[in-house]
Chain A
Amino acid sequence: MEKKSSLIFSIWKKYKIFLYLNMTIILVLSLTTDLVAAGSIGENPSKDDPQQVTVKGTVTDASTGQTMTGVNIQVKGTTIGNISDVNGEYSIPSAVDQNAILVFSFIGYISQEIPVAGKTVINVALASETKGLEEVVVIGYGTAKKATITGSISTIQGDKLNVSPSINFSNSLAGRIKGLVAVTRSGEPGNDAAILRIRGSNTLGDNSPLIVVDGIANRSLESINSADIENITVLKDASAAIYGAQAANGVILITTKRGLAGKPEITITLNQGLSMPTVIPKMADAATYAQMVNEVQSYRSRPATYSQAEIQKFRDGSDPWKYPNTDWFKEVYKTSSIQNNANFLLTGGSDRLKYFFSAGYKYQDGNYKKSATNYSQANFRSNIDAKITDNIKLSIDFSGQQENRNYPTRGGIMNACMKAYPTSVAYWPNGLPGPDVERGNNPVVMATSATGYDKDKRYIMESNVKLDFTIPWVKGLSVNGNASIDKNIQNHKLWQTPWFLYSWDGQTYDENNEPLLTKGEKGYSEPALTQSMSDGHRTTLNALINYEHSFTDKHNIKLLAGIERIEEESMNFWAFRRYFVSTEAQELFAGGDLEKDNNGSSSASARLNYFGRVNYNYLQKYLAEFVWRYDGSYIFPANKRFGFFPGVSLGWRISEEEFWKENIAFINNFKIRGSWGQTGNDRIEEYQYLSSYGFGDPYFFNNTLEIKSLKELRISNPNVTWEVANQTNIGFDAQLFGDKITLSADYFYNLRTNILWWRNASVPATTGLILPRENIGEVVNKGFEFEVGYKNSINGFTYSVSANCAYQKNRIKFWDETPGVPEYQKSTGRPMNAGLYYQAIGIFKDQAAVDAYPHWANARPGDIIFKDVNNDNKIDGLDMVRNDKTDLPTFTGGIDINLAYKNFYATLLLQGAAGAVARHITSSGLYGNFLQDDAEGRWNEDNPDATKPRAWNSSDEYWMANQNTYFLRNTDYLRLKNVEIGYNMPATINNKLGVQGLRIYFSGLNIFTLTKLKDFDPETNVSGGSDGYFPIKVYNLGVSLTF
């Protein structure tokens, strides 16, 4: 034990050095980018060689045969070069050495190096970079040729995702991969991870996919620098079974870049962006609000709060201090906030030793004025591959990331802006902040560091050592092993201080005839400090045996077997002190001794797995794969701990058949494939098989003694085990006319059984049971995915369009249902998390209308009419109807457009989702402003035919307190998710600058959105009632330099 911890410590120390190194490099880089660029100008080739020739020729597209414009042709090692013209023709301006090498390059195509060898005409056909069928794809514990894959697997190149200027990589995935749903609920810096779902939701519990980075499971998607990503593979069906009991929600495999042999190549990218909320709700102005407050009071037979004269003053702004009209969002939010992202990549090496090194820095400011919110991240990665002998390869990967999150100590700023009174000032004429709503909540102050700070620092260090051993004495046999330690440290410091707001009695003026203000202390009587720390690590060890053999060049088999153990441990503690004598020393030692407090806990987990895969194909025509995993998880009791998860898939490349080739050769590739498998989901609270007790609320005795209490956490379920995902998939892949048109489609049927859920619905409350999860649920999720791509090139204009879409809908097949519930309220047969709603069918026009229809006991004109669903002449719980829609979309899709002409290129991603609803409720009334949309056209005595309800007070009204369809909004949308427009500097300019490549570009995120929603972003589910942060749009300018 001791030994282990000292080893970890030494690794940690090592990491720390790397981190410092990394930060130094970034600093130096950002200062010297220009110098470096300038300094390398000046290498000049010799021009005096006698054996010189002039070279010209034509460049064509290898797949279409059409000529290509704008291809860069350069004499290797010199600055001499040219660009092909509109006819695809080029000529090198000056004579070159006959032994020279010409480099042909064009974005999206594989560069070619062709020795001149004395020739004077060199025609070249460039091949598209999409490697097509020969492309090698990362799959679980190995790789496979795309042509022979039989599972439902999607892949995407990392560089594609880098088009998005989003700071959080998870937000770059939406619309890119068919079947992967990504929803960004919040744009808060450091807190803006997208919710990811592979093929939607399949279980009542945790639906998040398993993330595997460079072969190590359970790493985090966010702790990876997007610039380092080589590619991403998503396993959507039974092919995930090799990940066993954690794979039921699908697996996302991320592979980072590795070194390429050759001279050192340095790429530097610098991005500078501006971010702003995608949409800001429009709130009612002061006069409207005052009028609505009066209406609310009148509905309660109370006197009006504001006189008509006062409302007029709010409207005309004649007395801005006594009768202000404050737009709080304008006062609190900046028009734009800065974000930047810089990356440094270095790759190179020899046949024996290749290296990839990267360093990056990201910064994102909050959207508030004088924002206390911001996020910064620094990271490095070093991937080294060494060939020790011809048979032994060693790879050593290190990466580290430091994340700094800064927040104000007061949450709910967006909510506070919606609640804040337009009739109250944000700032007084002298710039001091105005009064609060309550508890010192004035959002112009809440967003700043005037209330203290909330600093969250996280350090992530990941390492992996991999040994590859090709057994020399058995052909095709190799073994390899991985040892990985990932470390996670978090430091959190919450410093809460009193803050000050200024109020005016509304009467007294100072000598300048400005309001005479008084200062009031808010929040806390004195500063308090809470500091916490957590420390975790995960050790992954695995060993694999691979065997690959072709018999008679027809029967190809591949075998894999492996064993893996994963252990995690973590601990945390926190400490608290208050009564700080001064705000100078913001450390625990300086706090008072009274009421000081601390706490701590720890956890541990372990998994042990055996797995394997068999691949067989005949002439790469008939394909078969079998994967299995025997998985053991600490989460379950000893007798339910191990489970076997098999997956089988078959494929037939019909296009390889003679009859196909003879008749429909233009479809040059057509593969049908099908799969079936079982995977597991163990993502529940651990130890459900134990009856456990934990500390509950303290109880106080003798007026001063705080004494612990114990409570039953749950009763035990000794039979608890994982959920089983039964996944069936059929699909096809096709390519037409070379690879001009690609098609792929899948249909899936997922039946999740043994779903772990509580039997709350049928167990009466009289039992008092705190139920454990039981394997009781069954959910069916089925749908389809479709992807089509087309690319072409005309007169030097290259373009490609690809569209993907996915539809999935789940329904609960069986679970615990309350007996006696009418059919239209049953959740069985409907999607998971579908809510019960009263049906809003209009607004009571007048008292006669109220009297004429069954209504809530105290309904009045202007209230929302609830439908009497069961026609029993009264409105009660039986009139609620289970909705068919939830907050997750059923249909998602993306259209990816790439255009290139000469040195210009553009890429656009349109992304959309449909089928989801969101319930937008604001806390409006006497304690919060109304949305302008709710104010305009509302019911009142002058507008009895309104389609919107009357002014209301928070949740007093029955139609605010009870879920109903009026506030349920359609969130279908289509948005320009990403766009990038760029220009590759021609070689002539590059040559002058002494760089190999220079690209400048503009990129954007969420540039525009088509949606019916007026005041909220369609991806977010926040409303006035909860804490939230607007999703953001970003405009970004970037430059990328390659040396």
Chain B
Amino acid sequence: MKNILIFKIFLCSILIMVSCSQDFLEKKPSNEFSELDVFQDPVLIELYVNGIYASISHPMSKSDGMLKAEFVDEAHDMWYNYFEFNNCLITSDNLSRWSFEKWADIYKSIRMCNAFFEKVDKGLFDNTLVDGKPLKERLTGEVHFLRAYFYHQLVSLYGGVPIIKNTYALTDDFKIARSTYAECINFIVEECDLAVSMLPEVNTDKNKGRATKGAALALKTEVLLYAASDLHNNNPLFSGFTHPELLGYISGNAQDRWLAAKNAAKAVIDLGLYSLYKANPAPGDPISQNYSDIFIAANTEEDIFVKYFLAKYGGGLTWVDYENNLPVVAGPNGYHLFGQDTPIGNLVDDYEMADGSPFDWNNPAHAAEPYKNRDPRFYGTILYEGVKWIPRNTDGIAIDPIGIIQVGSWEKWNNSTNMMEIVFGLDTRNSPIEPWNGGYTGYYLRKFIDPKIDGRFSGADTPWRYFRYGEILLNYAEACIELGEDVEARKYINMIRKRAGMPDITESGEALRDRYRHERRIELALEDNRFFDVRRWAIGPKAYNIDATGVKIIYKLNPDNTTATIPTITPIVIQKRSWLDKAYFFPIMRDEMNKNDLLIQNPGY
């Protein structure tokens, strides 16, 4: 009996197992969203667009906090030094640690944009207006802006690139040729115009930080300015290259392009939404403080398109791509920071004297006290010997109770040994604190760094500004100069100089162009513009055929065995650099060339 009962139970359980059969194999991923879900729900579509924003590269983290300044004549990376890059030794196998906009990453972002356009119509949007625009229109405008931004990044580095407006399926033919430079610029401008027509003028509340009409216009300005520049217009440098249409215009008129650039900049100005931060300093205003606040403040009237950060990401606890780690990466070693992004002497020397005259090491008064009476922006950008910074940590405070940058050394007389001893400053490479993190140039970065942040323990919430109004005014002035409208140009340059507490300029013609380019270098110092400016102006030799310099600073021993209170400062070479014309454009990687035989490589690679 028992046997039979158990057997019956057994049979039943087998039947149950079989009958449940195959439905239970149908599992759903519980941590993912299906494509159908995402593109029906407007909330999720907005999150998807956020993902495109998150894919824009920024210089604050990249795990090493590298500014493009280190890849041009603005700064030196103490850690990586980028010797190969700064000697134009990059090849199609090796970009020498270039880790900003990368071909593959940008095309991933472009695919995200393309997918949005293909699917957004499935969204169940309503027509509620926020900041004057319905959500669908606003998001569409944002993605046009983003797609234009990504292509602008590519074209700035590579010249004409394949324009891809649709998404690929697995079975498609993936090969595609590069479009001409002109076609790319036209496409980007069209995208900007579409964005302008769809985006709100101002975003409020939780939409702050999204693209606006102003952001799209600012992008268009930069695109047209770059396109009008020497590199892409009647440039003789690559005359032997069989596909000049990939690198620049081969027909048309540069003046028309400057006019377009000028009009685009004027359109931003005419929006009337932006103004210079503390544009009209009163006598006695802390001008250099105002200047550094532009880059530290959470929001200013000058912001056009910015990326925000939260201080909780960064510092000791996390190490992620969306953090602002610049305080720990760039700060001086004497504060237990990494001393990595150090401005070079060549930039420092370019800051004018406060009266507008150039600084000159051959001028004995300048050389004796080089940091005296300089352009106020110098003080807002650079940390240098003897400047008061923030209080030291516990170990530094005994040596330096105030918190003064020490990048020099003291010759001191030791009475007990009757010998001279050299005492090195806390922020040198012979410091008692982390000497291996000491910079080589004698300067550290002040711009973008919030002194309230202790980089050892915290990231920064200082935003990164992709576009600010100051740049637009300069763009406008540049176009005016190229169109021969010197008076208009000077007016706008002098707006910038006035805010900086510097006297007006009065030059014209060629001299005005030089003065403008100098002004742009100073006002936009370390903001990632210079890298592109020296290329589009085709002044590579001027920027790279130089030795990168720093300073050697010694408080000398006086004949009476006291130590001088004013240091002797002499410029030193810290890195040899050199230029090759191929470096005006990036190489397409060998791997990519192999996968797509329709691609044409840039000259020199």
* Chain A residues within CB distance 8 Å of chain B: 300-302, 305, 388-389, 391-392, 421, 435-440, 467, 469, 471-472, 479, 481, 496, 503-508, 518-525, 528, 541, 543, 563, 565, 567, 578, 595, 601-608, 632-634, 638, 641-642, 686-687, 690-713, 715-717, 759, 761-772, 774, 818-821, 857-858, 876-878, 926-927, 956, 958, 961-962
Contact = CB atoms under 8 A, between A and B. Distances in A.
A702 B306 CA distance: 10
B432 A700 contact: no
B54 A699 contact: yes
A519 B395 contact: yes
B91 interface: yes
Interface stretch (B76-84, B504-512, B519-527): B76-84
A876 B93 contact: yes
A634 B395 contact: no
Interface string B291-309: 0000000110000000111
A632 B22 contact: yes
B25 A633 contact: yes
Interface in B6-20: 6-7, 10, 13-14, 17-18, 20
Nearest to A765: B104
Interface string B337-350: 01000000000000
A771 B31 CA distance: 19
Given A389-B3, A479-B10, A524-B316, A700 B309 contact: yes
A982 to B, nearest CB: 47
Interface of B: 2-3, 6-7, 10, 13-14, 17-18, 20-22, 24-27, 29-35, 37-38, 44, 47-48, 50-51, 53-55, 79-81, 83-84, 87, 89, 91-94, 103-104, 107-112, 114-115, 162, 164, 167-170, 172, 174-176, 205-210, 298-299, 307-310, 312, 315-317, 320-322, 336, 338, 393-395, 397-399, 423, 429-430, 432-434, 436-437, 440, 454, 456-458, 461, 463, 573-576, 590-597
Contacts of A595: 312
B209 A700 contact: yes
Contacts of B174: 763-764, 766-767
Contact of B595 (A601, A641, A699, A819): A819
Contact of A692 (B32, B81, B107, B434): B32
Given A391-B3, A692-B35, 8 more contacts: A567-B24, A606-B27, A608-B25, A687-B29, A699-B54, A704-B461, A712-B115, A876-B92
Nearest to B16: A541
Given A608-B21, A686-B29, A926 B436 contact: yes
B14 A543 contact: yes
B395 A518 contact: yes
B3 A770 contact: no
Nearest to B24: A606
Given A595-B312, A701-B206, A605 B27 contact: yes
A260 B33 CA distance: 54
30 contacts: A300-B575, A302-B440, A302-B574, A305-B430, A437-B436, A438-B338, A505-B395, A505-B399, A521-B394, A541-B13, A602-B30, A603-B30, A603-B31, A606-B25, A690-B35, A693-B48, A700-B308, A700-B309, A702-B205, A707-B50, A764-B595, A765-B103, A768-B109, A818-B595, A819-B594, A857-B84, A876-B93, A876-B590, A877-B91, A878-B590
A638 B26 contact: yes
Contact of A765 (B107, B298, B395): B107
Given A520-B395, A578-B317, A764-B592, A438 B434 contact: yes
Contact of B38 (A520, A608, A693): A693
B395 A764 contact: no
Given A525-B454, A604-B27, A706-B310, A520 B7 contact: no
B87 A858 contact: yes
Contacts, number: 307
B31 A601 contact: yes
A974 B325 CA distance: 48
A857 B578 CA distance: 12
B206 A702 contact: yes
Contact of B316 (A523, A641, A698): A523
B48 A702 contact: no
Given A541-B17, A707-B206, A713 B592 contact: no
A699 B594 contact: no
B316 A701 contact: no
Contact of B591 (A702, A774, A818): A818
A708 B50 contact: yes
Contacts of A708: 47, 50
B3 A709 contact: no
A860 to B, nearest CB: 11
A507 B84 CA distance: 39
The winner among A439, A471, A632, A878 for most chain B CB atoms within 10 A is A439
B395 A503 contact: yes
A868 to B, nearest CB: 14
Contacts of B26: 634, 638
A712 B27 contact: no
A641 B25 contact: yes
A525 B458 contact: yes
A469 B315 CA distance: 65
Contacts of B38: 693, 710
A193 B440 CA distance: 46
Nearest to B299: A703
Contacts of B37: 693
B320 to A, nearest CB: 7
Contact of B576 (A301, A519, A524, A762): A301
A305 B435 CA distance: 10
A296 to B, nearest CB: 12
A761 B172 CA distance: 16
A709 B115 contact: no
A541 B12 CA distance: 13
A703 to B, nearest CB: 4
Contacts of B25: 606-608, 632-634, 638, 641
Contact of B34 (A523, A690, A958): A690
Contacts of B430: 305
Contacts of A633: 25
Contact of A768 (B33, B50, B112): B112
A692 B395 contact: no
A808 to B, nearest CB: 31
B301 to A, nearest CB: 15
B168 A565 contact: no
B53 A469 contact: no
B50 to A, nearest CB: 4
B280 to A, nearest CB: 26
Given A469-B3, A606-B25, A766 B89 contact: no
A703 B460 CA distance: 11
A578 B317 CA distance: 10
Nearest to B88: A857
Nearest to A962: B94
Contacts of B317: 496, 524, 528, 578
Nearest to A714: B32
A876 B89 CA distance: 11
A705 B463 CA distance: 13
Nearest to B458: A525
Nearest to A701: B209
Contacts of B456: 522, 525
A694 B22 contact: no
B298 A766 contact: no
A616 B21 CA distance: 31
Contact of B7 (A471, A690, A762): A471
A702 B31 contact: no
B22 A701 contact: no
Contact of A439 (B2, B48, B162, B316): B316
B107 A705 contact: no
Contacts of A699: 50-51, 53-54, 209, 322
A702 B594 contact: no
A388 B81 CA distance: 79
Contact of A507 (B298, B423, B592): B423
